[in-house]
Amino acid sequence: MGRFVYAMHVSLDLRIEQVPGDNGAGEWLRIDEELHQDLNDRTRDAALIVHGRVMHEVMEEYWPRAVGDTSLPAYMREYAEIWVAKPKVLVSRTRTGADHNTRIIGGDDAIERLADLRAATEGSIAVGGATLATQLLRAGLLDELMLCTHPSYLGFGRPLFDDHDLPIDLELLEHRTFSSGVTLHRYAVQGTQE
């Protein structure tokens, strides 16, 4: 059985966006080569990627074009190649098509279909998007959090989860500090469905 892993860049106050629409691309982020290479390796090792619509549209707008962009560093082009090739699932009620090795799951039974996908997958399933992660958490299907905490306090902005006010018990699985001051923490979410 697979594991849904919600991977997100966060501020010290667990914000993922400072202003609406920056979609995780704020100037407060410190993504250097060391961190990017670690994320490249983790994405390469994932069985597949599952994104909500907004996150997927941000990714599909940038990464396919980055593959051949020689003005970018090699580690960014490497990530672009990994992202384009990796099997992806887009969870959307409105999209009817997607490129770059992506299939769509939509409709009222999307969470049940994702549960079936998790049961049929071996390895980690990278999850992107706060709305989707919140839905998986509520359904008891979110297995891990992987947070890259940047040394910034935003004070306002979009939180890590949408409208979730219940306690979440976590177990630390991994901790790493990067030279940029970013810390990576992987946590197992306690109480997920087997």
Other Cβ atoms less than 10 A from the Cβ of 55: the count is: 23
Where would I find the beta strands (DSSP E) of 22-65? 48-52
How many alpha carbons lie under 13 Å from residue 90 in its C-beta half-sphere?
A: 21
Predicted confidence (pLDDT) per residue in 72-93, tens digit:
999 999 999 999 999 999 999 9
pLDDT at 41 over 60: yes
Mean pLDDT across the chain: 92
Give the mean pLDDT of 167-180. 95
Give CA–CA dist 24/9, Å, rounded: 7
Predicted confidence (pLDDT) per residue in 62-74, tens digit:
999 999 999 999 9
Give the architecture (CATH level 2) of 2-189: 3-Layer(aba) Sandwich (3.40)
Q: How confident is the model at residue 98 (pLDDT cuts 50, 70, 90)?
A: confident
- pLDDT score, position 83: 97
- pLDDT score, position 20: 61
Q: Global pTM?
A: 0.92
Give the mean pLDDT of 21-50. 89
pLDDT at 95 over 70: yes
pLDDT at 124 over 60: yes
pLDDT at 142 over 90: yes
Beta strands 142-149; 2-10: pairing state: parallel
Element (H, E) at 166: none
> Where do the domains of the chain lie?
2-189
- pLDDT score, position 1: 92
Where would I find the beta strands (DSSP E) of 47-108? 48-52, 88-91, 102-105
Q: Which residue has the higher pLDDT, 125 or 158?
A: 125
